């Protein structure tokens, strides 16, 4: 391995050279490809390390060396990270750092960094700081004038984007949408005009409802549901939103991690959106007053009530 590491056959002693850590730990190293590699010493600071999103082979040699050489690893879930470390023979101590203890732990972490330690930060899977509390820690480390180093690698967002078949020149990562339908549709409406592919994380139990709301607000845009990326049961479904919404509405709740992607607005989206709004308002006006019809359609589509009410008045006047 030409990775700035010193390799030797697996099973032999990694030695007690300048990288040995003394009592409680063997020399910093990791095992890969049947070889034991001794890691290079790290510079002081916080090292933000990307880890696999499923397939344990999707980790860089630099990431393994960094995890092995760090004084400690800050992990969102130590049980998950322990599986990765055990697979590669890494014995670096683990420290839990997650949204529930972040405020309490940050001062302790900063104190260790100020003493010149090298700490690695990982999330459960993928690149840290994407939908996890790591960004607050990095902000505090930067404010203290301490070093932050990126060790790039796997990302569920990018993994889904490159297989989706949707435009990749511009994209917007939203993360998780609100759990309640009304708030979710309102947020989708705000995102609807973004001139790029939309990328969401979603839980399996909310996927069908989420697709239904995306369809109601965005119409028949092309979309993709990517599930269990890089894992044995990886599945990629590509179809217009109405088709995907119908499929998942009549299937058992899926399992695993899910990424949803939706194509950017097309040249005819505005006309289609207007036609869809008018159709909904006409149906509502058959049974309700202008005010009530506007409220019902606004809640159903996530569009601003003022906008829907103005259009309802126009349609109501045209009926006379």
- Do 79 and 112 contact (CB within 8 A), yes or no? no
pLDDT tens, per residue, the chain with 320 residues: 434 444 443 333 333 333 333 333 445 899 999 999 999 999 999 999 999 999 999 999 999 999 999 999 999 999 999 999 999 999 999 999 998 999 999 999 999 999 999 999 999 999 998 767 788 999 999 999 999 999 999 999 999 999 999 999 999 999 999 999 999 999 999 999 999 999 999 999 999 999 999 999 999 999 999 999 999 999 999 999 999 999 999 999 999 999 999 999 875 565 566 778 888 899 999 999 999 999 988 887 777 788 889 889 989 988 87
CA–CA gap between residue 152 and residue 28 (Å, rounded): 21
157-262 in CATH: which number? 3.30.950.10
Six-digit token string for 232:
């044995």
- Do 47 and 13 contact (CB within 8 A), yes or no? no
Say how many residues make up the chain: 320
- What pLDDT score was predicted for residue 74? 97
Where are the domains positioned within the chain? 6-153, 157-262, 269-319
Name the DSSP class of 171.
E
- Closest alpha carbon to 216 in 196, 244, 258: 244
pTM of the model: 0.77
- Closest alpha carbon to 292 in 314, 310, 309, 316: 309
CA–CA gap between residue 227 and residue 259 (Å, rounded): 6
Fold of 6-153: Cobalt-precorrin-4 Transmethylase; domain 1 (3.40.1010)
């Amino acid at each position: 391995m030409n990775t700035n590491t010193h390799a030797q056959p697996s099973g032999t002693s990694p030695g007690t050279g300048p990288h040995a850590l003394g009592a409680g730990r063997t020399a910093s190293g990791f095992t890969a490809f049947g070889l034991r590699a001794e890691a290079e010493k790290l510079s002081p600071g916080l090292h933000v390390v990307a880890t696999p999103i499923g397939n344990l082979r999707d980790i860089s040699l630099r990431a393994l060396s960094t995890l092995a050489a760090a004084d400690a690893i800050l992990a969102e879930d130590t049980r998950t990270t322990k599986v990765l470390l055990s697979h590669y023979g890494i014995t670096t101590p683990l420290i839990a750092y997650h949204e529930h203890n972040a405020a309490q732990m940050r001062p302790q972490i900063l104190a260790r960094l100020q003493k010149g330690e090298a700490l690695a930060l990982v999330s459960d899977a993928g690149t840290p700081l994407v939908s996890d509390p790591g960004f607050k820690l990095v902000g505090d480390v930067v404010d203290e004038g301490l070093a932050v180093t990126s060790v790039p690698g796997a990302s569920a967002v990018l993994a889904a984007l490159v297989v989706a078949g949707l435009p990749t020149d511009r994209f917007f990562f939203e993360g998780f949408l609100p759990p309640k339908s009304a708030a979710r549709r309102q947020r989708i409406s705000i995102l609807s005009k973004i001139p790029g592919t939309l990328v969401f994380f979603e839980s399996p139990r909310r996927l069908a409802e989420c697709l239904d709301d995306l369809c109601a607000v965005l119409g028949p845009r092309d979309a993709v549901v990517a599930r269990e990326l890089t894992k044995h049961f990886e599945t990629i479904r590509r179809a217009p939103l109405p088709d995907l919404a119908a499929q998942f509405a009549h299937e058992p709740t899926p399992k695993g991690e899910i990424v949803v992607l939706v194509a950017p607005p097309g040249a005819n989206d505005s006309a289609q959106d207007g036609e869809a709004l008018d159709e909904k308002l006409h149906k509502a006006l058959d049974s309700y007053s202008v005010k009530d019809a506007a409220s019902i359609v606004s809640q159903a589509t996530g569009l601003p009530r003022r906008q829907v009410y103005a259009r309802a008045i126009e349609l109501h006047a045209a009926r006379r």
